[in-house]
Chains A and B, each alone.
Chain A
């Protein structure tokens, strides 16, 4: 290793930064230090957020990892199957549920939606996120996120589905990418998925009392540590989510004509979990 001097910090303007003994740095010193691998790695801050999932089932919580089978701590899933059969919504029907994070500002990245039941087809949909208790009623900050028209293959594996299609869910951002809109702590947001074309094969859904527990509605429930890692370290954010049925729905605002709610509510629905980022 060459006996070159090592700078005492990485955040000083070069080449005028001082080295460890206070001498002035010259460009050639920098080249020599890098060549000698004596240059300290650039410092990077750990993430200022945590990523994870929140499920509506009473028996489950929030956790950083989703799996079709629980094998380790910090992993959640539905704990079983979507026990009911599937639903085949016509164009204009929708499912919706409202969520809030009572501990942090957050971003909704994706919703988990029931997989196929009894066959495969293409699911045509559009997801909106509205501030408040309603679908497509623009009040306050109004529409927070809109995927536009999207489609995805509705998977079917010849048995009760246990997971979303596709994993990790249907993204809620514009154009079908991860949603990034920052949603405020303690504020309800209604998430609606509108079926923009009639479904040709059924999608599965969960129902209360099918043996797997009950959809959670209301009280403080769904706490867990969401996590994110970069080269600066791992950030863990302990957060709490809630879910509840939405209130009502409206027309217009550039959305497809809505026919009505299909299956979501306190007791049933295909939207049983969300993928979210909580901000420190």
Chain B
């Protein structure tokens, strides 16, 4: 199992409507560091997608953060107002996700 970048695959349901499904090689069917410019996301997979290291994941996260800042409440747990996360907080976000997914 590895950290991978991939995207949902277009498929058809029984009525020939377009639906979007996780690729079979996605072990974890959830999304991290979604990039709304190309609809790609990070997850844990095996045998498909683009394999990346934790360092590359951090680079991706900071790249997305530069375009669409990750937000955080100013006075948690109160949900608003929000502010942009600092780069250190983005790094923590990535570290926490990798720890939770046992990925390195």
Contact = CB atoms under 8 A, between A and B. Distances in A.
29 contacts: A59-B8, A61-B20, A69-B29, A70-B22, A70-B30, A73-B21, A74-B19, A80-B31, A84-B77, A85-B79, A87-B77, A208-B68, A210-B71, A211-B34, A211-B97, A212-B32, A213-B34, A213-B36, A214-B34, A214-B68, A224-B17, A225-B19, A236-B13, A262-B79, A263-B80, A267-B71, A268-B71, A268-B79, A268-B82
A99 interface: no
A211 B29 contact: no
Interface in B3-39: 8, 11, 13-15, 17-22, 29-34, 36
- How many chain B residues sit at the interface, stated as a range, is 35 or more
A237 to B, nearest CB: 9
Contacts of B36: 58, 213-214
Interface residues of A, number: 39
B73 A213 contact: no
Given A209-B71, A267-B71, A268-B79, A59 B34 contact: yes
A202 B79 CA distance: 11
B63 to A, nearest CB: 13
B19 A61 contact: yes
Contact of B71 (A80, A207, A223, A238): A207
Contacts of A265: 80
B78 interface: yes
B79 A263 contact: yes
Contacts of B79: 84-85, 87, 205, 207, 262-263, 268-269
- Chain B contact residues, majority secondary structure: loop
Complex A-B, nearest 5 residue pairs according to Cβ-Cβ distance, in ascending order: A209-B70, A85-B77, A263-B79, A213-B34, A70-B29
A202 B77 contact: yes
B54 interface: no
B72 A212 contact: no
Chain A binding site: helix, strand, loop or mixed by DSSP? loop
A88 interface: yes
A79 interface: yes
A214 B64 CA distance: 12
Contacts of A86: 77
A271 to B, nearest CB: 12
Contacts of A117: 77
A11 interface: no
B73 A212 contact: no
Interface string A81-93: 0001111100000
A71 interface: yes
B19 A224 contact: yes
Given A74-B19, A117-B77, A212-B30, 17 more contacts: A58-B34, A61-B20, A73-B19, A79-B30, A80-B30, A80-B31, A80-B32, A84-B79, A85-B76, A86-B77, A87-B77, A209-B69, A210-B70, A211-B33, A213-B34, A213-B36, A262-B79
